[in-house]
Amino acid sequence: MTPETRSTPRSNTQRALDELRDLIFSGDLPAGSDHLEVELAQRLGMSRTPIREAMLTLEAQGLVEVRPRKGFRILSLSAEDMEEIYQILTELESLAAERAAARGLSEADLAILAQAIADMDDALSSEDRIAWAKADDRFHAELVRLGGNARVAAIVGMYNDQVRRARATTLYMRPLPHQSNADHRAVYAAILDGDQETARKTHAKHRTNASRLLTELLQRPGMKHL
């Protein structure tokens, strides 16, 4: 845990990328706010160049918008954006579930998935929503990994980043997600069974429900953008 255990001296561009992501996800750079190159450069203690380069990558990932004389705008997501993203997540994760089921994976292969489910159960009993959200993240990330399509995993990861803020906001607005855990177990079972169709459909239903819940919460007055 020492501060300087890093062997590779990461480039400033890389640091800028990581730190800017953190600033965005933490809400330190709020959605909708604008930021000039010099401002961010000073803030991170480097020159404009690595900031620009990091911002280009973040733009390609859909997190910011470059507005030539107005600075970088941290993109906010409307309810419609959220629906678009959830459609994609539903679709691609369901594909991953189907493919995972098709691969004839053993219980050992599914250990991480099983662990994530167990962690979610624990988190639910202790009503620890943050721990639950983290385990849920792990479940979904591992699911797309098991799907065996690296590009699907990358896209899903990217969009999960984008909705992270929204999920954090709604985490305490929703009831405890008992149904989610049941869904996860059903998906797990279908994958282990090699039942592609069930894996896909079960997961699709799970995601569709989650999506509906989220968008309903987000459409409450005063929640316009995140």
Cβ closest to a copy of itself, residue 57 vs residue 196: 57
Q: Could you identify the residue written with the tokens 């954090």?
A: 168
Say if CB 34 and CB 73 are below 8 A apart: yes
70 belongs to the binding site for DNA (CB under 7 A): yes
Query: What residues form DSSP beta bridges with 72?
Result: 35, 66
Binding to DNA by residue 21, rule CB under 7 A?
Answer: no
CB of 208 vs a copy of itself, minimal distance in Å: 12
Please identify which residue in 2, 4, 68, 175 interacts with DNA, judged by CB under 7 A.
68
- Minimal CA–CA distance to 162: which of 220, 76, 223? 76
CB-wise, 5 or 8, nearer to a copy of itself? 8
Q: Does 8 bind DNA (CB under 7 A)?
A: yes
Measured between alpha carbons, how far is 226 from 209 in angstroms, rounded to an integer?
20
**What residues line the site for a copy of itself (CB under 8 A)?**
52-53, 56-57, 59-62, 84-85, 87-88, 91-92, 95, 99, 149-152, 155, 159
Q: What six digits make up the tokens of 87?
A: 């459609």
Q: Which of 23, 36, 171, 213 binds DNA (CB under 7 A)?
A: 36
**Dist CA 147 CA 155 (whole Å):** 13
| d(C-alpha 199, C-alpha 94), whole Å | 7
Q: What letter would DSSP give residue 29?
A: S
61 binds, among a copy of itself, DNA, none (CB under 5 to 8 A by kind): a copy of itself
Query: Phi and psi dihedrals of 34, rounded to 5?
Result: -110, 150
- Asked if 37 is part of the footprint of DNA (rule: CB under 7 A), the reply reads yes
Q: Which residues bind DNA (CB under 7 A)?
A: 8-9, 11-14, 36-38, 46-50, 52-53, 66, 68-72
